[in-house]
Structure 1
Amino acid sequence: MSGHGHEHGAGDHSGHSHGVSADADRRWLGLALGLITVFMAAEVAVGIVAGSLALLSDAAHMLTDAASIVLALIAMRLAARPARGGFTYGLKRAEILSAQANGLTLFLLGGWLAYEAVRRLIAPPQVEGGLMLATALTGIVVNVAATYCISKANRTSLNVEGAYQHVLNDLFAFIGTAIAALVVVLTGFERADPIATLVVVALMAKAAYGLLRDSGRIFLEAAPADVDPDALGDRLVARPGVVEVHDLHVWQITSGQAALSAHVLVEPGGDCHAVRRDLEEVLRHDYRITHTTLQVDHAPEQVLQVALPGDRSTADDAAHCDAPHGPVHREEPHHH
C-alpha cells in the first residue's frame, strides 16, 4: 500500500550524505559536550576573579549549551525507539520538545543577562580586562571547535539545530566579549563589558524565536513551511480521473518527516487504485511526502451534475462528507 516515511529527510537540501548515522551524530555531539563542559568550569572561576559579567554570562550560556546538547542526545535516543503501545509514531516528537526547551532556555537566560547588563551599565564594577581577554580568546577557539563538531551532525533535525544555535550564539558571545575586553584594556571603558552582553542577548532572542516558532508549528500540526496545502489540493485535483479532494491534512511528525491524508473522489468508472498510485507518486516526487493515507472513492453521479436552483437533493449529495475539514478542491469544468 502506501509508503511509510522511513526516508528521514530524504532529499534534504543539507550538504551532507544521507548516510550520516545517528551514531555518528551522537559522537559529534558528545565531543562538543566534552569540550564545552571542561572550558565552562574554568571560565566560571576566571569570570569571578576578573569580575566580568560578560565572562560569567558566557559561562551561563555555555551551561545552557551543555544542557541543550544533553537534551539533544536524550531526544535522539527516544526518537530512535520503535513505535509501540499508545505511541503509534514512536517518540519522534521528543526531538521537537527538546528544540522547544532549547528555545525557551535561550529566552530566559537572555532576560536574566539583559537585566544584569543594564544594572552594570548604570554602575559599572571593576573589570580585569587582561584576564577577560585571554579567556574570551580561548572561548572563541573552544566554540569554533564545538560548532564544527555539531555542524557535522545532521542539522536538518530541529533538535540538532537547537543545540547548534546555542553553541553558535556562544561563539558570537565570545567574539563580543573579546572585543569588549580589548576596549577595557586599551581605554579603561568598563561599560564595554555590559554592552557586549546586550549584543549577545539580542542574538539569543533571535535564535530562541526561530526555534520556538518552528517547533510550535510542528506541535500545532501546521503544514511544513515549504508546502502550501491549497496549492497542493489544486495540484492533486488537476490529476487525470480526480473529481474532488477534501479533508486534506498535511502535517509534520518531526523535522523532515511530513505526513498527509486526504479523501479523494474519482470519476465514476475510473480506476481508484491507479489514481491513488498516481497521486502518491506526485506527492513523493514533488513534495517528498512518503507517509500518505489516501481514501479513494468513486464520486456519486450527482457531484458531476450542476445543481439546479431549488434542487436540494443534488446539493446535499455534493457535500459527500458530513463536515469536511478545510476547503473542498473540485475539478474545474474545463479540465479534460
Structure 2
Amino acid sequence: MHRRQQDAFHAAAAAKWADITRVEPYASYQGLMNVWTVDAVSAESGVSGDPSADVIKDTALGSYFWCADTERLVCADIDKVASYAAKAPEADLVVVLSHSAKYGGAGYSGLEAEGYPFDGVSTLSSDNEQSSMIAVHEIAHSVGLLADEYAYDGYGTWPSGEPADINSSTYTTRQMAAKRAKWYRWLGETDPTGGTVGTYEGSSYYPYGIYRPTSNSLMRALNVSEFNLPGREAMIAGFYREANALSSEVGTGKAVLRTTRIKVSQAELTGLAAPELRWYVDGVQVKRANGLTGVVPAALGVAADGRTHTVTVRSDDRSASIRDPQVRAETTETLTWTVRASGHKTRTHR
C-alpha cells in the first residue's frame, strides 16, 4: 500500500485476523499463533490486474491478479515477500494483504524446500467482502496442506493415481475403509458442515474419478463457514507443525538443583482443544502433578541421594477432533531437565 494508506492497512489486517479466528479450528488454536504486521510501502496504490489484465502497478510485493491466466488468482513476488517477512521474528506463514476490493487470493506451500525461511504464503484482497473467508481457505493450503475440493466441468476425469493430498482420494467409501486409508477414521461421522463424512465425487478440480470427504466445505465453497472433519484435523496438525505449545524460562541445557522451581508455559488453547500437562521423574509419571505449571523436583519425589535424575514435562492435546495417531504425535511436546540430587555425607566419629 502507499505510505498514506498504512493506517488503513493496519486496520484491515486486524479486522481480517479477527474474522479468521472466529472460524474453527483457528478459533480454538489461536493461542499457538503470534501475528505481526509488516509495512510494505508501494510507489503506487493498488494491485496489477485490477480492474483489468492490462493494468500494471508498481508495488512493493509485486502482487497481481490473472496469475496463471486466472483472473481471481492473486500471486506475488516471493523473493520480495521474503525480504519483508524477514522483518518479523521467524515467520512460518506470510499473508499478503493487497490493496483491492476485487475478489481473489492464492495459497503457496512447500516454500521451505525451495530455500525460503517460511513454508507458506497466502494472498488476499484488503477490501473484498469475502476476503476474510478467502484467507481462511488459502491459509488452509499453506498450513493444512489441503487441496481444493471444487471441480471444473471441463476437466473431465481424474487422470492420475492416488493423490498425496489429505482431502482428495480415488478410493470409494468401501475401498477407503478396506485399505484403512486417507480419512477412513471419519467415515460415517456427522460433520460440522451439516452432512456426513463419506466419499463425494468431484475434487482437486476434476468432477469425475476423484472424491472429497463431504458434500460441501470451506475447501469447496465459501457459502459455508466450516472445514469438514478431515480438514479440521489437518489444520490442527499444521498448527502444531509450526508452533511450540510448551516453553520454559528454566533452560534444559544445564543441570538444575532438586530445590529449583521449574515453571512452564502452555499455549492457551480453548474450544476444540483438550490440552494436558503431565510430569515425570526418571520416566515415571507423577500423577498428583498433572496440570501443574510449576514444580520443585524435590516435591515431585527426587531424593537427595547423590544421584542424577531427570524431570520431564509433557504437553498433549486430547482433542476429539484428532483421530490419526500421527497427528496426535504432532501435538506432543516435552521438556526434560537433568537434576543434581546432592546427598549428605555421614561422618563417623571415633
- State if a TM-score over 0.5 links the two structures: no
The interval holding the TM-score normalised by the smaller chain is: under 0.3
Bigger proportion of residues as strand: 2
Bigger proportion of residues as helix: 1
TM-score, normalised with respect to structure 1:
0.26
